[in-house]
Structure 1
Amino acid sequence: MLLQMICGGECPMSFGLDALETYDWSRLVHAYGQATDTPGHLRRLARHDGAAWEDTIVHLHTAVTHQGSVYPATAPVAIIIARLLQEPGFDRPISYSWREPQPLRAHLLDFLATVAEGTEPDRSESELWLIYHNTRQRDPDEPWDIESPAWAYDAVMECRSIAPALVDPVLRCLSDDDPRTRVAATSAAVALCLVPTVSSRRAEIVAIVEDRAWDAATFHERAEALRILDRFGGVSKSFLSDRHPGIQLVAAFSSSLAHDPDSASAVWDAVTDRERAAVWYSDSLSPLATIGWPNHLLHQAVDRVANFADLLPTAVVVAATSLHSTTFRDLEILLERAFPEVFSPGDSLNDEQRIFLRTLLDNSSLWESAPPRASRELDVSLALVGLPADHASLSAIVSC
């Protein structure tokens, strides 16, 4: 296999930055060619410098893995990253690209989840061989010819080979102090348990996820665990009567319960009950973008309710809520339902539209203290239905 070839036959399972010297990086490639720059990126993790960390995370997600693919350099990097997960300084939040800030440890867990997904767990080894194997003789001087798919099969199989060694380091992160890291660990653990070489631990990991769906410390952790559990078709109907109305909705929208009549009732009750809708925004850990709560659930709920008048209690809650990570996406969904026809100058508002927009205008957090990017999102949402983006002009329309 790849690691034995690179290490000359005897390759212990080394972890941590001390393992960087174990590999001949000139004989490994990532998405952009020889991986000789990868050790330098990994060493930046020891610097406890936010900008350096961001650069490394970008390298992991664009070069070491790329658009779901793994490379000969991926497996060595993954086992090194797994050993670094418990570094005490890695609880410091960073962000990169458009992503929400989260601890570096959570970003590293996301990388390991990507590695697991890149093993194409739904395909058998023989299927992968047929897809990737190139029968032409490899050039011994260029064993990882980037133009040839010959290395691709080996890269996938090597990531499958090392996947079992990643499980325990990931599971230890389930007890992390930061809920964002715990959510990332849950996702990574499930991604790993789908890899064929980790099948012996699948039942154990699914049981852990189900326990978290019942007992995790925050709503968002429970919702994410429940969403993941749905990948195994294992969402119990008992979640429809959970103590948390939000969890009832997560269960209601699971594929496991999609055709259950009690599921439809839970959706209807949630979107027509103002007090229940308010619970959607009660969790202070709302920036967990992995869930997109309540946006994706609201989207599905809106699709099930044809009359905006029935949605008005929920729309008022959303419009009155202090700025939230999904506020503008939620408002866009509701505005599109409130205005099925684009508003034009001279049009009149109906009573429901007027109440919704008046509530929106009264929410100072959306107009006075929203960051510029958020303000632009509100502008776009209003423009999509033909409404002006400035407070004074919209207020004039509502007052008519």
Structure 2
Amino acid sequence: MSETYDWDRLFHAYAVATDTPTHLEALVAADETAFSTAMEHLYSAVLHQGTIYPAATPAVAAVAQAVSFWIGAADRKTASARLPALVDFLDAAGDSLTLAGQLLASEGEAVPPSAEEERKFFETLASDDEEESEEAWESPVAGVLMTHAIPALRQQADPVMEGLLQVMGSDAIAHKAGAVSALAHWNCNSTAPYQHRAAAALRSFANSATVRDDRAAAVLALGTVGADVSGWLADADPAIRACAALCLPRSGEAAKELVRALTQPEEVDQWFERRPSSFPMHVRFTLLNSLLQRETSFAAILPAAVAIVQLSSPYTADNDWGPLLRAAFPEVEFVPGEYPPVPENIGAPQRQFLAALVANERLWGTNVGNAGLALMRVGLPYDRQAIAVLLKDGTGDD
């Protein structure tokens, strides 16, 4: 799997990647402990905290080959145990590639280092002297080589897609949500034939799957690859309807579906046994963020806003009730370091939302800075009684 690469000229998060080939060989070996150690190496060193290092290209290629190997292996028990881990790594690598590609587009291309500069970099990085080795990371060569690793990894898209499509057509893995998500992440980097095959496979799977997690992942993936998912707005399952709505940012019916879902935020957060990767935290956070990006009045989302704030805590200020406050008072201009005045002419929807905030005892009496900032951004004090008095005094127009 690794014989075609010069590992003395590749590195991961910790050092020159000469230790990586042994781990890649373990992906198709019988030793379970070695396989687990290999997966740990892939995440901790090769894709450390989602960063793409030059060693990622051959590592991803090897993982894609390992997927194909286990799809065709006679040992179905081992295959079914290992494939989910391999597929999840491809999903994570595809997600990192998407984010890194966006960063690369904003920064532009980096000038390649000279052969001498590159030689000195790897010589220093491989030094037995720890201080000298650390100096290598301060070299601009490290950043340039990492930048070049992004388009190099893109070149693995078709082989990765081939392995994932084999997973989609196989019964070797029970739940395919990881493969579905990975297909969506790698799709934009693949060639047209693979894009067409992926869309067809995803649609077929979405129509045939019976497990909610799998169906949701398929609908989300279809939306990501640009397919029409509007038909799923009429699905019997509210989770599937909401997933379709996420992919339809200009649909008024989709916005209404998100509001309907968010009136039951606690239920929403329990929808999935294995959350699709589109939901990195609580499901309600993602649905709400999508809803607030749309041209929808605060009055229209009020039922969801009130329901969400009843579930909120000071620690969720950045993700639910804080963004809702900004949506309630969009006219307030916040300048860091300045406290804006209390909003004037507070309308009925805003008053109902503030009343729900006051009623939630968990939000008050803490020293959570982000909670205070959420209120300060719209000119309100982090003082429960003061806001209650503001409402009691009837300030504003109803």
Q: Same fold (TM over 0.5)?
A: yes
Q: CA deviation at 1:335?
A: 0.8
**CA–CA distance in 2 between the matches of 1:241 and 1:211?**
18
Opposite residue 71 of structure 1, the aligned amino acid is: P
Opposite residue 338 of structure 1, the aligned amino acid is: A
* 1:193 and 1:202 in contact (8 A); partners too: yes
Q: CA deviation at 1:209?
A: 2.3
Opposite residue 357 of structure 2, the aligned amino acid is: L
Matches within 5 A, 1:157-306: 159-160=156-157, 162-163=159-160, 166-167=163-164, 171=168, 175=173, 182-196=176-190, 202-214=195-207, 221-245=214-238, 247-252=240-245, 254=247, 258=250, 263-268=251-256, 271=259, 276-279=261-264, 281-283=266-268, 284-285=270-271, 290-291=278-279, 293-302=283-292, 304=294
Q: Which residue of 1 aligns with 2:10?
A: 28
Q: Which residue of 2 aligns with 1:333?
A: 323
* 1:223 and 1:250 in contact (8 A); partners too: yes
* 1:239 and 1:248 in contact (8 A); partners too: yes
**CA–CA distance in 2 between the matches of 1:396 and 1:236?**
47
Query: Are residues 1:79 and 2:65 paired?
Result: no
Change (3 A) 1:202 1:265: closer
**CA–CA distance in 2 between the matches of 1:276 and 1:294?**
9
Q: Which residue of 1 aligns with 2:396?
A: none
Q: Which residue of 2 aligns with 1:311?
A: 301
**CA–CA distance in 1 between the matches of 2:19 and 2:182?**
26
Opposite residue 312 of structure 1, the aligned amino acid is: L
Change (3 A) 1:291 1:215: farther
Query: Are residues 1:360 and 2:357 paired?
Result: yes
Q: CA deviation at 1:329?
A: 1.8
SS in 1 for 2:320: helix
TM-score normalised according to structure 1 size:
0.59
How many residues are matched? 341
* 2:161 and 2:183 in contact (8 A); partners too: no
Opposite residue 234 of structure 1, the aligned amino acid is: A
Q: CA deviation at 1:237?
A: 3.4
Opposite residue 291 of structure 1, the aligned amino acid is: F
**CA–CA distance in 2 between the matches of 1:161 and 1:144?**
30
**CA–CA distance in 2 between the matches of 1:333 and 1:153?**
33
SS in 2 for 1:29: coil
Q: Which residue of 1 aligns with 2:337?
A: none
SS in 2 for 1:329: coil
* 1:173 and 1:185 in contact (8 A); partners too: no
Opposite residue 282 of structure 1, the aligned amino acid is: E
Q: Which residue of 2 aligns with 1:383?
A: 376
Q: Which residue of 2 aligns with 1:59?
A: 45
* 2:315 and 2:371 in contact (8 A); partners too: no
Q: CA deviation at 1:315?
A: 1.6
TM-score normalised according to structure 2 size:
0.60
Q: CA RMSD in A?
A: 5.5
Q: CA deviation at 1:183?
A: 3.8
Any stretches of 5+ residues in structure 2 without a counterpart?
71-77, 102-108, 124-140, 333-339, 394-398
* 1:160 and 1:195 in contact (8 A); partners too: yes
Change (3 A) 1:364 1:107: farther
Change (3 A) 1:325 1:221: farther
**CA–CA distance in 2 between the matches of 1:332 and 1:119?**
28
Q: CA deviation at 1:202?
A: 4.6
* 1:78 and 1:112 in contact (8 A); partners too: no
Change (3 A) 1:26 1:319: same
